């Protein structure tokens, strides 16, 4: 997990929310075998079982251990195994070795979840405000891990030469190709961004503060697979002029020639997804591209990436619960744009902004506070949520962040330009 500010939550709706969130995680692993849930496909990814256990450890530690007086740990070996990066919480298992932990098995982790869930629900009515806030934080934390779980499972299946589908394909509704990219002029001058209210937000979203925008416009929609295929066909991956120096070194060093999971077949480009390998949909938003690729595409297109302030200023008028977001377990993927939508869901949109603290930002004290402040170097901000983001999780002020080469999340591109 990565941060927060003051959450607020009333007991009964909190219990319902808690049960819904916890239930969705278990639903997500329903199609997985014990092995599927235990293997780690790369250092950046974690086993599905680890996500299930780590989110549970979070609740057990910060809620039950710290606020429920007679609570005994379910298994005193679990904190070492399932702590992620909370240095203040003591030693932890090396991140890249998470896939070695074949025991406890998936079933045992699900039993651990049930135990902790029951304990939290039993304690909830009498819990102090601070602890209820932590339960709410735990829900948001878990939603973040749900998205990671989905993308980590996708990455694992992609390593298997037989490319198993996690779910059968969803029925596709035919959609017309989106028209040419339009532009929306943004407001210029001093505006306000960042989270400011009393409802839940992660620490890095605040404080709310003034920002200054130059005259600019943002594209009406994100870049599509069809447009990306044009970029490839035009030699986009082979022309150093479009690329940042670090990006060019990455493209050459890793032999990158298309988005992650794309392969060329006799009949054109295909992509691997949660429903297996299929032809790309030219009308759908391109995804699984890195910041380097996003920036190179923008350069090739004579445009640039939006700043996070430009993005937030425009998206703050939109409904953050709209769009193609995660509602239930299934083979989520970005879908062709429909008119007027697209600020939330489908793909996280790379911005040109480095992930740095806002003016007046202060890290929270204590272990739970080890969230976002410490990640504020070397990463880029993404906005808007994706098809794998649980609906209700994201906001206009929500700041996601990844390193510029990473692309196993559902990451895409919206263009911007100066006016």
Binding site for a copy of itself (CB under 8 A): 33-39, 41, 77, 80-81, 85, 87-88, 93, 97, 99-103, 105-106, 156, 159-162, 164, 190, 209-212, 214, 216, 240-241, 243-248, 291-292, 295, 304, 352-354, 356-357, 359-360, 374-378, 404, 418
H/E segment holding residue 217: strand 216-219
- For 387, the token pair is 């098809």
Cβ 307 to a copy of itself, closest distance in Å?
A: 8
| CA nearest neighbour of 306 among 384, 408, 249, 250 | 384
Angle at which helices 225-233 and 291-300 pack, to 10 degrees? 70
Tokens describing residue 394:
């994201």
Residue number, 247 or 390, with CB nearest to a copy of itself:
247
Question: 264 φ, ψ to 5°?
Answer: -90, 130
Close Cβ partners of 98 (under 8 Å, ≥ 6 residues apart): 40, 46, 47, 50
> Least CB distance from residue 383 to a copy of itself, whole Å?
16
Q: Could you write out the DSSP letters of every residue in 86-151?
A: -GGG-----GGGGGG---S-HHHHHHHHHHHHHHHHHHGGG--HHHHHHHHHHHHHHHHHHHHHHH
Residue placing its CB nearer to a copy of itself in the complex, 128 or 210: 210
Cα gap 403→290, rounded to integer Å: 8
Pairing of the two strands 348-354 and 411-412: parallel
Q: How far apart are CA 129 and CA 79, in angstroms?
A: 25
Whether omega for the bond prior to residue 207 falls within 30 degrees of 0, making it cis, is yes
Task: Using the minimum distance from each CB to a copy of itself, give the nearer residue, 95 or 278.
Answer: 95
Q: How far apart are CA 321 and CA 384, in angstroms?
A: 10
- Choice between 34 and 321, CB closer to a copy of itself: 34
Note the residue count of the chain.
419
């Amino acid at each position: 997990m990565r941060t927060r500010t003051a959450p607020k939550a009333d007991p009964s709706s909190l219990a319902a929310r808690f049960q819904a969130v916890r239930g969705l995680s278990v639903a997500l692993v329903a199609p997985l075998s014990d092995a599927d849930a235990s293997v780690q496909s790369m250092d950046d990814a974690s086993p599905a079982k680890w996500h299930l256990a780590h989110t549970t450890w979070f609740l057990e530690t910060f809620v039950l251990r710290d606020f429920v007086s007679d609570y005994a740990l379910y298994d005193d070996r679990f904190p070492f195994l399932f702590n992620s990066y909370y240095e203040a919480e003591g030693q932890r298992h090396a991140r890249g070795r998470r896939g070695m932990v074949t025991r406890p098995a998936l079933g045992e982790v699900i039993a651990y979840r049930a135990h902790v869930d029951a304990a939290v629900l039993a304690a909830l009515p009498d819990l102090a405000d601070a602890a209820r806030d932590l339960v709410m934080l735990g829900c948001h934390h878990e939603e973040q891990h749900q998205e990671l779980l989905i993308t980590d499972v996708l990455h694992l299946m992609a390593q298997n030469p037989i490319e198993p589908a996690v779910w059968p394909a969803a029925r596709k509704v035919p959609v017309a190709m989106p028209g040419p990219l339009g532009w929306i002029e943004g407001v210029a001058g001093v505006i306000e961004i960042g989270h400011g209210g009393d409802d839940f937000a992660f620490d890095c979203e605040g404080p709310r503060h003034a920002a200054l925008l130059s005259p600019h416009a943002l594209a009406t929609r994100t870049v599509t697979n069809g447009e990306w295929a044009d970029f490839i066909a035009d030699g986009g991956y082979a022309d150093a002029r479009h690329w940042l120096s670090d990006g060019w070194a990455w493209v050459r060093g890793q032999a990158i020639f298309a988005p992650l999971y794309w392969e060329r077949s006799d009949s054109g480009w295909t992509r691997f997804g949660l429903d297996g390998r299929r032809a790309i949909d030219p009308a759908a938003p391109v995804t699984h591209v890195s910041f380097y690729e996003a920036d190179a595409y923008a350069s090739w297109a004579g445009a640039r990436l939006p700043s996070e302030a430009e993005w937030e200023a425009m998206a703050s008028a939109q409904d953050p619960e709209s769009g193609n977001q995660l509602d239930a377990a299934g083979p989520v993927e970005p879908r062709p744009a429909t008119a007027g939508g697209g600020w939330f869901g489908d793909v996280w949109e790379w911005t040109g902004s480095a992930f740095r603290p806002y003016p007046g930002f202060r890290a929270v004290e204590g272990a739970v506070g080890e969230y976002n402040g410490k990640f504020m170097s070397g990463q880029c901000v993404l906005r808007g949520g994706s098809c794998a983001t649980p609906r209700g999780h994201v906001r206009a002020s929500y700041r996601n962040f990844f390193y510029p080469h990473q692309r196993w999340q559902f990451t895409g591109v919206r263009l911007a330009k100066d006016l």
